[in-house]
Structure formats: structure tokens, C-alpha cells
């Protein structure tokens, strides 16, 4: 628990500079503070907090994870913190999930997957292994008095500085008391672990700074905060779980590849910078190529290949790319198709059961729109009664095999 064994850190200035600037939105108190610390050869402890609210991590998590990996490479102590306590109460920042409380079984199931997924980027073994912690360890122990004590460190005014709260207040939307508690709980994580720094998405800046304030007040420690840029879609919205462009880490290589290919062209450069480790010099070359009229598709393929390869491995990435080219560029058929038997309950019922279509009405509309095509002869099927054995394509991405 006490780090008496002094781990050596790497003080390569070029690497440290890259680490503190690429894909970084903000550093508190400032970049120089952190740089000086690292150049002195201090081994810093920093953490990334994740709330296990969903069953899987997604691309948004990869950005800080890659940063953490770099810190680990340089010999620093990294901690992946699971906000299991917060998750069980329900995350209020997301209105739709506000009421959703996760059971501890669900959380535990999610957690296992998270660690597994994160291990593709950071290492939980070896001489400088990443730590895996849970904030229920300390938050679960706190009584009401402790909570009040903690809360006495913040004012309502300070809380209202947070854009989300301010906006909601302006719009006349409700803010619940427990929502105020979230930044505090998150902030207390820093105190409990006594870290030197924290890393997270730019959307977490406020919460991370609360932790900075608390650490200063309670332990007189200057915590640094690294806020990573967010991967935003063309309209400037965060790539959220609600958006269909979200790539989660539990997807098959093929799905992951396809999803990335459906990202807008504007996302290519930011994504290369944020979620790959392709050298900046090469990214600049790509940027120039696009500017002089290069086909963005080519570079999007590079991006997709790189991301899939990092997670699933080179071999899988290559296969995914081939499948993509085959299916979409050449109009072929993917290998694994859902097999439907018309025996028994009937075709539509089977399609609904397998969640290929959501209702009979949708199926009727698809037929009307000419979305159903026989792969064998390329004929459009407008009438269900024409469907016999064989392979059919519904729209662009749905395929069924009737037997």
C-alpha cells in the first residue's frame, strides 16, 4: 500500500510533451506544473473514474484510457476506479437513466467486463500494474454525518458554476439535491485514494476540479487534472450512448469497423488524434492529403483498421475490413446470417422474435419501400408470399437466410 519501492519513471521530455498536449483540452493547474513534476522523475499516481452504468465501455472511454496507458508506459502508477457506488444509486446527469438503479449483481457483471475491456489498453499485470478499485470501498462506509461534513466544503454557488446546473436552472428545470452530491462523491474519491492527479473527459472537468478543491482543503495537496478532448460528432454533440454512432467495446470486429465507417468525414482527424496511437506526424500527413482532395474513405479505413486492431488484434481487423469491403463496397453478403425457419409460427413472427423487424407494420412498410431483395437473383420482393428458401437482404445491413 505504501510505495516504498521507488519505481523508476521515464523523463523523456518529448514524450512528456506529447502526453500532455495531444488530445488534451485542459490541464489544471497548468501543463507546466505536471510537466515539472514528471521531469523531476516523480512517480505520480493518477486515476480514471468510470461509472459502470452500462454493460460495456465505449469509444469515449478509450480516449483517457490511452492516456493512462502512456502514463503507465512512463512508469507512473495508474488506477482505474469503478464508480460502483454511484452507479448503484443511478446517474442523475442522464435524465433517462435517472431512475434506473442497478443492482449490485448487475454492477458486478458490468465491472468484470469493464476490466477485461480496459486491459486491452492498460496492463493489470507486470511490475507496474494498474490498480483496479471501487469507490464503494470508502463511499459505502460513510454515514450521514460524514456526508454532511463533506458537503460543508462546497457552496451552492460553487455547484451552480457547473454549466449543466446553471443551464437547467435557467431553463426552469429541476435540480435534485442528490445531483449536487455527485460531484462531491466523485471528488471524495481523490481524497480517499490520495492521488496526485486525475484524468477524464472534458465533460468531467467540473467533477474533477471538485476533487482538486477537496484535496487542497482536506489534505493540502495540489492535485492536477487532465481533461481530454471529447470526440464530437459533426453537429458538435458528444458521441453519446444515445447516438447511433457510438462504438462500444463489446461489438464484433465487423460491427465496430462498420460503425466507424459510418462516422462523418469530419471525425477522421480528431478520431485519429484521440483514439489511436498513430504518430502525430503521420496524422498531419493525412490531414494534408485530405485537404488536397484525397478520398476521405481511404483514411477512414485506416482509422477503422487501427481502432479495431488495437482492441481485437491485427488479424481480426483485417478480416473485418475484408468483410466490410465485400459486403458494402462490392454488394456481397456477410458470413454469419441469421437463419429463419418459416415452419411453425410464420415468417413475420420469427422476424419479430429475432428482433430483425420491430413490428408487422414495419415489415409491411419495408416490403412496400422495396427494401427486401433476394440475394440470389437481385429481385425486389414486394409480397411476402414470394419469399421462399434462400438469402434475402433487408435494407443495407440486415440479412436473413430462410430455410
Partner RNA sequence: GCGUCGGUGGUAGAGUGGUCAAUUACAACAGACUGUAAAUCUGUCGGCUUCGGCCUACGAAGGUUCAAAUCCUUCCCGACGCACCA
| Interface segment toward RNA; rule CB under 7 A; list 76-84, 148-156, 252-260, 382-390 | 252-260
- Out of 8, 285, 364, 388, name the contact with RNA by CB under 7 A: 364
95 binds RNA (CB under 7 A): yes
Q: In the complex, what is the shortest distance from the CB of residue 32 to RNA, in angstroms, rounded to a whole number?
A: 39
- Out of 142, 302, 371, 375, name the contact with RNA by CB under 7 A: 371
302 binds RNA (CB under 7 A): no
295 binds RNA (CB under 7 A): yes
Binding to RNA, residues 118-177 (CB under 7 A): 169, 171-175
| Interface segment toward RNA; rule CB under 7 A; list 4-12, 121-129, 222-230, 368-376 | 368-376
- The three-point CA angle 52-23-58 to 5° equals 25
Residues 6+ apart with CB under 8 A from 215: 190, 191, 194, 195, 221, 222, 223
258 binds RNA (CB under 7 A): yes
- Out of 360, 382, 388, 403, name the contact with RNA by CB under 7 A: 360
362 binds RNA (CB under 7 A): yes
Q: Which residues are 134's β-sheet partners? A: 82
- Out of 158, 398, 401, 402, name the contact with RNA by CB under 7 A: 398
255 binds RNA (CB under 7 A): yes
358 binds RNA (CB under 7 A): yes
Size of the site for RNA (CB under 7 A): 49
| Interface segment toward RNA; rule CB under 7 A; list 84-92, 188-196, 222-230, 253-261 | 253-261
**Of 29 and 370, CB closest to RNA:** 370
**Of 55 and 264, CB closest to RNA:** 264
The 3-state secondary structure of the chain reads CCCCCCCCCCCCHHHHHHHHHCCEEEEECCHHHHHHHHHCCCCCEEEEEECCCCCCCEHHHHHHHHHHHHHHHCCCEEEEEECHHHHHHCCCCCHHHCCCCCCHHHHHHHHHHHHHHHCCCCCCCCCCCCEEEECHHHHCCCCHHHHHHHHCCCCHHHHHCCHHHHHHHHCCCCCCHHHHHHHHHHHHHHHHHCCCEEEEEHHHHHHHHHHHHHHHHHHCCCCEEEEECCCECCCCCECCCCCCCCCECCCCHHHHHHHHHCCCHHHHHHHHHHHCCCCHHHHHHHHHHHHCCCCHHHHHHHHHHHHHHHHHCHHHHHHHHHHHHHHHHCCCCCCCCEEECCCCCCHHHHHHHCCCCCCHHHHHHHHHHCCEEECCCCCECCCHHHCCCEEEEECCCEEEEEC
**Of 30 and 295, CB closest to RNA:** 295
**Of 88 and 394, CB closest to RNA:** 394
Binding mask 196-235 for RNA (x = CB under 7 A): --------------------------------------xx
Q: In the complex, what is the shortest distance from the CB of residue 158 to RNA, in angstroms, rounded to a whole number?
A: 17
Q: In the complex, what is the shortest distance from the CB of residue 301 to RNA, in angstroms, rounded to a whole number?
A: 8
Which positions touch RNA (CB under 7 A)?
A: 95-96, 169, 171-175, 234-235, 242-245, 254-255, 257-259, 261-262, 264-265, 295-297, 300, 324, 327-329, 352, 358-362, 364-366, 369-371, 373, 394-398
Amino acid at each position: 500500500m505504501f510505495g516504498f519501492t521507488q519505481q523508476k519513471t521515464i523523463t523523456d521530455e518529448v514524450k512528456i510533451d506529447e502526453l500532455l498536449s495531444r488530445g488534451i483540452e485542459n490541464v489544471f493547474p497548468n501543463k507546466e506544473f505536471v510537466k515539472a513534476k514528471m521531469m523531476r522523475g516523480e512517480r505520480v499516481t493518477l486515476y480514471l473514474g468510470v461509472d459502470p452504468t452500462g454493460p460495456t465501455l465505449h469509444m469515449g472511454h478509450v480516449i483517457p484510457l490511452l492516456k493512462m496507458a502512456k502514463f503507465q508506459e512512463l512508469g507512473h502508477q495508474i488506477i482505474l476506479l469503478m464508480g460502483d457506488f454511484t452507479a448503484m444509486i443511478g446517474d442523475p446527469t442522464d435524465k433517462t437513466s435517472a431512475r434506473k438503479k442497478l443492482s449490485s449483481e448487475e454492477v458486478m457483471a458490468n465491472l468484470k467486463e469493464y476490466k477485461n475491456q480496459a486491459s486491452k489498453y492498460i496492463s493489470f499485470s507486470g511490475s507496474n500494474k494498474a490498480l483496479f478499485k471501487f469507490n464503494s470501498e470508502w463511499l459505502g462506509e460513510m454515514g450521514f454525518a460524514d456526508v454532511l461534513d463533506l458537503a460543508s466544503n462546497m457552496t451552492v454557488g460553487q455547484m451552480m458554476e457547473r454549466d449543466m446546473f446553471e443551464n437547467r436552472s435557467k431553463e426552469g428545470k429541476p435540480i435534485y439535491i442528490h445531483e449536487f452530491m455527485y460531484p462531491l462523491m466523485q471528488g471524495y474519491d481523490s481524497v480517499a485514494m490520495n492521488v496526485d492527479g486525475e484524468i477524464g473527459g472534458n465533460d468531467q472537468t467540473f467533477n474533477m476540479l471538485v476533487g482538486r478543491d477537496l484535496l487542497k482543503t482536506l489534505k493540502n495537496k495540489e492535485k492536477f487534472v487532465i481533461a481530454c478532448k471529447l470526440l464530437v460528432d459533426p453537429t458538435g454533440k458528444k458521441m453519446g450512448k444515445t447516438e447511433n454512432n457510438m462504438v462500444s467495446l463489446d461489438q464484433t470486429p465487423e460491427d465496430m469497423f462498420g460503425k466507424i465507417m459510418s462516422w462523418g468525414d469530419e471525425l477522421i482527424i480528431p478520431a485519429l488524434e484521440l483514439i489511436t496511437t498513430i504518430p502525430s506526424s503521420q496524422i498531419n500527413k493525412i490531414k494534408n492529403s485530405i485537404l488536397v482532395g484525397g478520398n476521405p474513405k481511404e483514411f477512414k479505413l485506416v482509422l477503422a483498421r487501427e481502432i479495431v486492431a488495437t482492441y481485437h488484434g491485427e488479424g481480426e481487423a483485417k478480416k473485418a475490413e475484408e468483410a466490410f469491403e465485400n459486403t458494402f463496397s462490392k454488394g456481397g453478403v456477410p458470413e454469419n446470417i441469421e437463419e429463419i425457419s418459416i415452419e411453425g409460427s410464420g415468417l413475420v413472427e420469427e422476424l419479430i422474435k429475432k428482433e430483425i423487424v420491430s413490428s408487422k407494420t414495419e415489415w409491411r412498410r419495408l416490403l412496400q419501400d422495396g427494401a427486401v431483395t433476394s440475394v440470389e437473383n437481385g429481385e425486389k420482393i414486394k409480397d411476402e408470399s414470394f419469399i421462399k428458401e434462400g438469402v434475402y437482404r433487408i435494407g443495407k445491413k440486415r440479412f436473413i437466410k430462410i430455410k
